[in-house]
Chains A and B, each alone.
Chain A
């Protein structure tokens, strides 16, 4: 360079250039609709959620129980075809207090996404794996949330469940 090069290309535009019509542009919307098959492992997972259960997949060769379930063990590449219910309680491994939505809208009350290590799955202590899932926390003041907090799933009423990760509304702290 940057010593030898004096001029760099690239022209910076501002929002104002668009608002004032100084720039020609082509606006279009892309529309795509999809219906994703859930497959064997996740299909079983979703069916169990509808029944109020969280499934893990086990490999007895590798002594691992992981969630969400899958059909192949990432360590030995053999089938992981035994699905067993875990508990709907666990520990907050990490969390965030998020003040923006997925499409960058500001919100006053933060969403509290978290990674929750479910009871009954393999833990960090048993190797480089944990039975963690991403979900949200609720019924808790943001300032009270902490790593290591014990939590329990709050489910939708059985008749409203549809076989989705949102059949769990959120996880809430377990009262001591």
Chain B
């Protein structure tokens, strides 16, 4: 396959907040403008725009892609919205990547935005409509159900304690305390705090869960010959992968995310990675719930099945460990404006691999990282490998 090399050359993001004063368009413009300024480009340099945003139901705006398009700088340019549920934030850079890798465009803006606070009284209720209208919705399911069902299956199968799973939430919120855009960073939170938080849907408690949020993130992608003119520190997209498993989620064993494995294997093969645990230096697995980070680390082949929690127990997952996990603070700490949260992980790898992550900078001059997101009814995996 003949493909051009593609680099991330700039990134920007808004603060992630519970409720933003800015409209979705305004948040989109702020993140996009910041990404352009970070690499000293203007909208005139952008040949195409890729937008990622999750369900229209949050905004109450049908055709949300069109609604956001001026904030995305999309007018009079090739523009397209991609959508794979919660996996969108790591899919939209893949869409940008093939725009450039194919030779079709040299410089592309990739933007992800989510504003969840507009839905009344709580964005949670919008999720009812993701369940099958005939076979599931009649039972009045709560989005928490599927996570609680999956978490219980996972922890019971492997005998993992809630105490150990809570370590994930604690580490990510600690890391987020060092992120200037974080909503729920907390340098002092403990495992006890997580275990004492309100039980929503056992085994899920409030501090096991990421917060609904508003925010936007943007990155700039460029072909190799342009990237080298723009920056002396391009961060290359070395591999991409995505996969969809059966939508009959009750027909799968929820103990293992096969779809993440398939997506990861595609990305590793493209990147020439044969031993991910040695060749990946930073992991940003999708962590809307604490156990999900563990689940996804296993799907990414960065831990044996049922053993990902050992990365947290041993300290390997910490900023100064051998396999830092979610140095950004993840969705649990920075926040979860759905599509923007996934792209935030790409931006974090960009800053980490350039050595620009400030207090969150991981040890050991990392050369390569993986970001992953997950979505739909627990069946989409999206994976991007980045390196310098």
A residues lining the B interface (CB < 8 Å): 1-5, 8-15, 23, 27-28, 30, 34, 36, 38, 42, 45-46, 66, 68, 70, 74, 93-104, 110, 113-115, 124, 128-136, 147, 164-166
User: Least Cβ distance of A129 to chain B in Å?
Assistant: 5
User: Least Cβ distance of A49 to chain B in Å?
Assistant: 10
From the candidates A1, A23, A36, A147, name the one contacting B180 in the complex (CB within 8 A). Answer: A1
- Give B342-361 as 1s and 0s: 1 = Cβ < 8 Å from A's Cβ atoms: 00000100010000111010
**Can you list 24 A-B contacts with CB-CB less than 8 angstroms, sorted by A residue number?**
A1-B351, A1-B358, A3-B357, A8-B180, A8-B181, A9-B34, A10-B16, A11-B17, A12-B21, A46-B134, A74-B246, A93-B253, A93-B254, A96-B148, A96-B202, A99-B198, A100-B142, A103-B125, A104-B121, A124-B253, A129-B251, A130-B252, A132-B250, A134-B136
Cα–Cα distance between A27 and B118 once the two chains are bound (Å): 9
Question: Is chain B's interface secondary structure helix, strand, loop, or mixed overall?
Answer: mixed
Inter-chain contacts of B138 with A (CB < 8 A): 164-166
User: Least Cβ distance of A67 to chain B in Å?
Assistant: 8
User: Least Cβ distance of B207 to chain A in Å?
Assistant: 15
Given that A104-B121, A130-B253 are known contacts, is A13 also in contact with B248, CB under 8 Å in the complex?
no
Cα–Cα distance between A115 and B149 once the two chains are bound (Å): 8
Asked if residues B21 and A3 are in contact (CB atoms below 8 Å), the reply is: no
Task: Kindly list 16 other residue pairs between chains A and B, CB separation below 8 angstroms, not including A9-B31, A34-B133.
Answer: A1-B180, A2-B180, A2-B360, A5-B12, A8-B15, A10-B22, A11-B22, A96-B152, A98-B200, A99-B201, A100-B142, A103-B122, A130-B251, A130-B252, A133-B250, A165-B139
Given that A3-B357, A136-B139 are known contacts, is A128 also in contact with B18, CB under 8 Å in the complex?
no
Inter-chain contacts of B142 with A (CB < 8 A): 98, 100-102, 104
Cα–Cα distance between A102 and B215 once the two chains are bound (Å): 25
Cα–Cα distance between A103 and B142 once the two chains are bound (Å): 7
Given that A10-B15, A113-B139, A136-B139 are known contacts, is A96 also in contact with B357, CB under 8 Å in the complex?
no
Cα–Cα distance between A3 and B214 once the two chains are bound (Å): 23
B residues lining the A interface (CB < 8 Å): 11-22, 27, 30-31, 34, 38, 60, 120-122, 124-125, 128, 133-136, 138-142, 144-145, 148-150, 152-153, 156, 179-181, 198-204, 214-215, 246, 248, 250-254, 258, 347, 351, 356-358, 360
Inter-chain contacts of B11 with A (CB < 8 A): 1
Inter-chain contacts of A99 with B (CB < 8 A): 198-202
Inter-chain contacts of A4 with B (CB < 8 A): 38, 356
Cα–Cα distance between A135 and B38 once the two chains are bound (Å): 51
Asked if residues A94 and B145 are in contact (CB atoms below 8 Å), the reply is: no
User: Least Cβ distance of A164 to chain B in Å?
Assistant: 6
Cα–Cα distance between A81 and B360 once the two chains are bound (Å): 56
Inter-chain contacts of B27 with A (CB < 8 A): 9-10
Interface centre among B27, B60, B148 (most CB of A within 10 A): B148
Asked if residues B153 and A68 are in contact (CB atoms below 8 Å), the reply is: no
From the candidates A1, A12, A134, name the one contacting B17 in the complex (CB within 8 A). Answer: A12
Cα–Cα distance between A66 and B16 once the two chains are bound (Å): 42
Inter-chain contacts of A130 with B (CB < 8 A): 250-253
Q: Which residue of B lies closest to A18 (CB)?
A: B19
Asked if residues A2 and B22 are in contact (CB atoms below 8 Å), the reply is: no
User: Least Cβ distance of B49 to chain A in Å?
Assistant: 19
Cα–Cα distance between A100 and B144 once the two chains are bound (Å): 9
User: Least Cβ distance of B144 to chain A in Å?
Assistant: 6
Q: Which residue of A lies closest to B37 (CB)?
A: A5
Q: Which residue of A lies closest to B351 (CB)?
A: A1
User: Least Cβ distance of B176 to chain A in Å?
Assistant: 12
Inter-chain contacts of A94 with B (CB < 8 A): 149-150, 152-153, 156, 254
Asked if residues B351 and A2 are in contact (CB atoms below 8 Å), the reply is: yes
Cα–Cα distance between A94 and B154 once the two chains are bound (Å): 9
User: Least Cβ distance of B14 to chain A in Å?
Assistant: 4
From the candidates B15, B134, B258, name the one contacting A9 in the complex (CB within 8 A). Answer: B15
Cα–Cα distance between A131 and B251 once the two chains are bound (Å): 6
Inter-chain contacts of B145 with A (CB < 8 A): 96, 98, 113, 134
Inter-chain contacts of B140 with A (CB < 8 A): 101-102
Asked if residues B19 and A98 are in contact (CB atoms below 8 Å), the reply is: no
Closest 8 A-B residue pairs measured CB to CB?
A96-B148, A10-B15, A10-B14, A94-B153, A9-B30, A132-B250, A12-B17, A98-B201
Cα–Cα distance between A13 and B372 once the two chains are bound (Å): 30
